[in-house]
Amino acid sequence: MPVLLRFSLGQHTVPILGMHQLWITTRVHPIAMKIFVLVQLFSQLGLFASACTEVRVTSKDNSVVIGRSMEHMLDPKSHIILEPMGSSHTARLKPENCKKPITWEHKHIVAYMDSLNLPIILGGMNNAGLSVSALMFPGFAKYQEVPKDKCTTAVSSLEFTLWLLGNFASVKQLRDAMKTESFPLVFAGKLVLDFSFDEHYSVTDKTGEGIVIEFTENGRLVHDNTVGAVTNAPPYDFHMLNLRNYVALSKYAHEELVLGKTHFKPTGEGSGLLGMPGDMTPTSRFVRAAILANFAGPVKTSKEAVKMAYHILNTVDIPHGVISDHKHQGLADYTSWAVAKDLTNNALYFRTYEDLTIRVVYLDNVQAGRKLKIKMASPTDGFKDVTGDMVPAEAHTEL
């Protein structure tokens, strides 16, 4: 008989019931059932329609840093996973009616973020200085059909990110490879039934060159990322066209307005940014991220660039509870984590919603030849007691 499951993630317990009732039999493999339940839950809640944002910051010493936020209704339980150079990799997903999935060997050390221990690669970097981010692209993605003679060289949309990180060192290499017939077709990665996740892909290298790869009804499209910002749907060319609506924005304050004999001065600083959108839709976040990334003052070093990336991501940070709907009571989109990838110094910085302490993994300093991982949501407390560091203060009158 049908039963009602209650699935717990973090502080939330959610009934798995709604559009489709979940039937359980003793013949279902536990791992398959786990995947089914997770994807059933995520599909019902729309949890993959996330509000991801990415920005690029370049310092005066030519260090390139990519900042990226990740939003979900529930904790994605992400790890940072590090795979060594030369490691053999077999894709966990394959095209329908294909006997063998694509395989490859990593040409670089690869660090990436996963989700729920499933073959969902959210983004990462390699020690050649390449960053790849998979950002949600709902309603617009249309992946490629795979003929039988190419099925063993095709890669799923969920693992395309990892395949790119394992095989390429620069955007130029990737551009050249995409011109060849041997470049893999990308098919819709489906974990159960017909449910797949729509994504597009931001790729940036340590020179600062960036592209956005999209698979749509118009085929595979490659856009130059000249403004250093990426969000979600609509397609990237729409976001670039939409920036023309904000040509009046400026980092400089407006002059006073004179109407008749009355002079109206700005009420405070920041009048040059009047009209910059402040909501959390993808189009508004794109404008905000692009404007702030380009208006921000220069930074000298890579660590300053990391801090600047986090300051910009703060403007799109979503506190828990502010984005929800009447259907999903008690659940709300929020910024579960944010990373900053220093492509010049092979450093991956991260922080989580529960702990704003910025931690870092250096790709070049890990033990060679071993696959490693760290749970992102492993709090270090986030607060430091400095009461004991206080010293006697004397009154001073001088400036």
Q: Higher confidence at residue 154 or residue 395?
A: 154
**pLDDT at 4 > cutoff 50:** no
Mean pLDDT across the stretch 260-279? 94
Would you say 42 and 324 are in contact if contact means Cβ atoms under 8 Å apart?
no
Please answer whether residues 65 and 57 qualify as being in contact, where contact means their C-beta atoms are separated by less than 8 angstroms: yes
Question: What confidence tens digit (pLDDT) does each residue in 211-238 have?
Answer: 999 999 999 999 999 999 999 999 999 9
Specify the pLDDT at position 395. Answer: 63
Token pair listed for 330:
């008690």
Rg (CA), the chain: 23
Distance CA 79, CA 76 (A): 9
Residue, of 205 and 34, whose pLDDT is higher: 205
* 8 Å CB contact between 220 and 233: no
Q: Determine the Cα–Cα distance for residues 276 and 285; give it in Å rounded to an integer.
A: 10
Per the CB < 8 A criterion, the answer to whether 157 and 186 are in contact is yes
* Separation CA 167–CA 149 (nearest Å): 22
Q: How many CB atoms lie within 10 A of CB 247?
A: 7
**Measured between alpha carbons, how far is 100 from 102 in angstroms, rounded to an integer?**
7
What tens digit of pLDDT does each residue of 340-377 get?
999 999 999 999 999 999 999 999 988 777 899 999 98
SS (H, E, C) the chain: CCCCEEEEECCEEEEECCCCCCCCCCCCCHHHHHHHHHHHHHHHHCCCCCCCEEEEEECCCCCEEEEEEEEECCCCCCEEEEECCCCEEECCCCCCCCCCCCEEECCCCEEEEEECCEEEEEEEEECCCEEEEEEECCCCCCCCCCCHHHHHHCEECCCHHHHHHHHCCCHHHHHHHHCCCCCCCEECCEEECCEECCEEEEEEECCCCEEEEEEECCEEEEEECCCCEECCCCCHHHHHHHHHHHCCCCCCCCCCEEECCEEECCCCCCHHHCCCCCCCCHHHHHHHHHHHHHHCCCCCCHHHHHHHHHHHHHCCCCCCCCECCCCCCCCCEEEEEEEEEECCCCEEEEEECCCCCCEEEEHHHCCCCCCEEEECCCCCCCCCCCHHHCCCCCCCCCC
The reported pLDDT for the residue numbered 383 is 84
| Confidence check: pLDDT of 39 > 60 | no
Mean pLDDT score, 311-329: 88
C-beta separation of 351 from 70 below 8 A: no
More confident residue, 323 or 136: 136
What's the average model confidence in pLDDT over 43-58?
72
Peptide linkage before 138 cis (omega within 30 of 0): no
**Does the pLDDT at position 28 exceed 60?**
no
Spatial separation of the C-alpha atoms in residues 231 and 318, rounded to whole Å: 14
| Tens-place pLDDT, residues 60-72 | 999 999 999 999 8
Segment among 15-24, 133-142, 175-184, 384-393 with least mean pLDDT: 15-24
Question: Residue 386 class from Cβ within 10 Å (0-12 exposed, 13-18 middle, 19+ buried)?
Answer: exposed
Q: What is the value of pTM for the model shown?
A: 0.87
pLDDT tens profile 84-122: 999 999 999 999 889 999 999 999 999 999 998 888 899
Residues 293 and 55: beta-carbon distance below 8 Å = yes
User: Which domains can be identified in the chain, with CATH numbers?
Assistant: 1-45 (no CATH), 50-240+299-378 (3.60.60.10)
